[in-house]
C-alpha cells in the first residue's frame, strides 16, 4: 500500500447536514439515489503542507435541489460563502502553491486502471453569493517579494448556470 501525502492540512471544520435521501430501484431498471436539503460547512481552516495558512471560511452553505450521484446530476438551488480568506503564493520559479490541490500524484509502482466509459455529468447552480472575501497575495518572482490584499470581495450570481461535462477519470 502506498500512502500519498495530501496537498493540504485540514485543521478544523464542522459539517451540518439536513438531507432527504430517496432510494428507488424499479423492477428491471437501475437504482436511483436522490439527495435534497441543506448542507453547511462552518469554521473551516486548511493549511499548506508547510504549515502556512491556505484557507479560512466562516461558512459555506448549499441548498441542494436534487443530487443524483449515480446519474451524474447535480442541481444546487443556492450556494453561499461567508468570509472566505485565501492565501495565494507564487514562488521564485513562478509556481503557485495552490497548484498542489490540482495535481494527481501517481505512485510509480501503481498499474494504470482501465479507463471507465465516459458518463455525462450535469451541473446546475441557480444562485451563488460570496460575502466579505479576503485574498492575501504574495509573489516572489521579482527582485523583491510583492504582497497585496484584496478586501471585502463580494460576488452575486443569480441566473441559473447549466454545465454538461463528460466525466474524466
DSSP code per residue over 22-40: EEE--TTS--EEEEEEEEE
Residue-wise pLDDT for 14-64, tens only, equals 999 999 999 999 999 999 999 999 999 999 999 988 888 999 999 999 999
Q: Is the pLDDT of residue 90 over 80?
A: yes
Query: What does the pLDDT read at residue 169?
Result: 44
Closest CA to 76 of 88, 97, 60: 60
Q: pLDDT class for 168, splitting at 50, 70, 90?
A: very low
pLDDT tens for 48-59 read: 888 889 999 999
Nearest 5°: the CA angle 36, 37, 42 is 130
Q: Are 92 and 84 in contact (CB under 8 A)?
A: no
Percent of the chain clearing pLDDT 70 (strictly above) = 82
Instruction: Name 70's Cβ contacts closer than 8 Å, sequence gap at least 6.
Output: 30, 31, 32, 33
Distance separating alpha carbons of residues 54 and 165, to the nearest angstrom: 29
Instruction: Give the separation between CA 12 and CA 54, rounded to whole angstroms.
Output: 12
What average pLDDT score do residues 101-112 get? 64
Q: Are 79 and 62 in contact (CB under 8 A)?
A: yes
Amino acid at each position: 500500500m502506498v500512502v500519498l501525502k495530501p496537498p493540504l492540512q485540514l485543521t478544523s471544520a464542522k459539517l451540518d447536514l439536513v438531507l432527504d435521501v430517496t432510494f428507488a430501484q424499479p423492477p428491471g431498471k437501475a437504482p436511483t439515489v436522490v439527495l435534497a436539503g441543506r448542507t453547511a460547512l462552518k469554521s473551516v481552516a486548511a493549511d499548506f503542507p508547510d504549515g502556512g495558512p491556505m484557507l479560512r471560511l466562516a461558512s459555506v452553505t448549499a441548498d441542494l435541489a436534487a443530487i443524483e450521484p449515480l446519474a451524474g446530476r447535480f442541481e444546487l438551488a443556492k450556494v453561499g460563502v461567508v468570509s472566505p480568506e485565501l492565501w495565494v503564493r507564487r514562488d521564485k520559479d513562478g509556481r503557485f502553491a495552490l497548484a498542489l490541490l490540482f495535481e494527481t500524484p501517481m505512485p510509480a509502482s501503481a498499474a494504470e486502471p482501465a479507463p471507465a466509459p465516459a458518463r455525462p455529468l450535469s451541473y446546475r447552480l441557480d444562485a451563488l453569493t460570496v460575502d466579505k472575501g479576503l485574498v492575501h497575495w504574495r509573489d516572489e518572482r521579482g527582485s523583491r517579494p510583492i504582497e497585496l490584499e484584496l478586501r471585502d470581495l463580494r460576488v452575486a450570481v443569480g441566473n441559473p448556470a447549466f454545465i454538461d461535462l463528460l466525466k474524466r477519470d
